[in-house]
Structure 1
């Protein structure tokens, strides 16, 4: 049992180091330690299922050890910025004032195709439109547009605020009522019945019903087969 825990601890630390060496591009939305924990726990769970000859306690102990390590590591990173930087790294700027830092891209092994794909995901097709862009510690791209290209708001244009104070939320999805959203927007079931009657349908015939705290709503019926 002690040998198994020691091996788990060594593998855990080695995989974190390996993921840090692989670079930010490989991490997706997870921090290195989180990704390692996910991989190890899934593998250990599959081993315990596929190898019934292994005692249950012996197969579960490494899983709980990994969970404990992740909790301790999270607490350490929360209290110590240096530990957080060591485990997860720091955000790195790849664009400044519309100029791409090619040396940084090479260090991160982040190709121009990767960068352009991430920019397109934020509706940016020209890097010169970007004032500042960072590769975050989880591998995602954070972008700040140039001031002249930032989206304007109603306040900027001195337009009146919309009558709705709540966002458009689903009241019904695929015939299933979401009462918490309905009540949050100040609606009740009699209001829902009136909305259904206006569209000559029943609750089960609704594919999607969206609404806010006004009388405005959008209803899409299921297509009959």
Structure 2
């Protein structure tokens, strides 16, 4: 119990110096490797961000780990993420393994029951997202998508005649919309990626 309330100036000074050094190095890493280093675009980015926070804290507080060891572990984690994103960009096969795909949960007022079940999303969560968008009726919603970062996007139904191009690359699209998107893609020569 004495350890909980103990105050050792040397320990506190060591933590303060470690925090400053690791913080400066972390900022430099992020500037060198890009904004993606701290993004939440998808699950593997989120894992890196959370892990980096854990390594940062451990490097500062744990006396058994030197600042250099902590900084190297953070650098290795960020480099792995950097390499993974480069490979994902070049390899469709690897992209399918690593990246999640957005899922359509509601389309033109109709829930996509199979996708709700597969993603373990409740209708109440969809209604909450619609309310947060400021819409009072499900009839005012064109689509609801569970994004790769686990956020729910609500697309308002502004124009019934316009094709929902933002739904490109979303799982579970109705066949008619898939056909319209493919037709438009071939007309405009849009590249997938």
TM-score range, shorter chain: 0.5 to 0.7
CA distance in 1: counterparts of 2:105 and 2:69, whole angstroms: 46
1:144 offset after TM fit, Å? 4.4
Whether 1:143 and 2:155 are equivalent positions in the alignment is yes
Partner of 1:110: 121
Whichever structure has more helix as a proportion of its residues is 2
1:75 to 82, 86, 91: 86
Q: Secondary structure at the match of 1:134?
A: strand
Partner of 1:44: 55
Distance 1:72 1:29, change over 3 A: closer
- What does the per-residue CA deviation read over 1:33-58, in whole Å, with 9 as the maximum and x for residues that have no partner? 11111111111111111122323322
1:148 offset after TM fit, Å? 5.0
Q: Secondary structure at the match of 2:106?
A: strand
TM-score between the two structures when normalised by the length of structure 1: 0.48
Whichever structure has more strand as a proportion of its residues is 1
1:84 to 87, 90, 95: 95
Q: Secondary structure at the match of 1:147?
A: coil
What stretches of structure 1 move > 4 A for 4+ residues in a row? none
TM-score between the two structures when normalised by the length of structure 2: 0.56
- Greater Cα radius of gyration, structure 1 or 2: 1
CA distance in 2: counterparts of 1:95 and 1:135, whole angstroms: 10
- Unaligned residue ranges in structure 2 (runs of 5+): 1-38, 163-193
Distance 1:142 1:87, change over 3 A: farther
2:71 to 52, 55, 60: 60
Q: Secondary structure at the match of 1:133?
A: strand
Partner of 2:44: 33
CA distance in 2: counterparts of 1:41 and 1:76, whole angstroms: 21
- Unaligned residue ranges in structure 1 (runs of 5+): 1-27, 151-225
Partner of 1:221: none
- What does the per-residue CA deviation read over 1:73-107, in whole Å, with 9 as the maximum and x for residues that have no partner? 11112222333332221121111232111221121
Partner of 2:183: none
- What does the per-residue CA deviation read over 1:126-180, in whole Å, with 9 as the maximum and x for residues that have no partner? 2233233322212231414162599xxxxxxxxxxxxxxxxxxxxxxxxxxxxxx
Partner of 1:14: none
Whether 1:97 and 2:108 are equivalent positions in the alignment is yes
CA distance in 1: counterparts of 2:148 and 2:118, whole angstroms: 14
CA distance in 2: counterparts of 1:107 and 1:114, whole angstroms: 15
Distance 1:128 1:29, change over 3 A: farther
Distance 1:93 1:35, change over 3 A: same
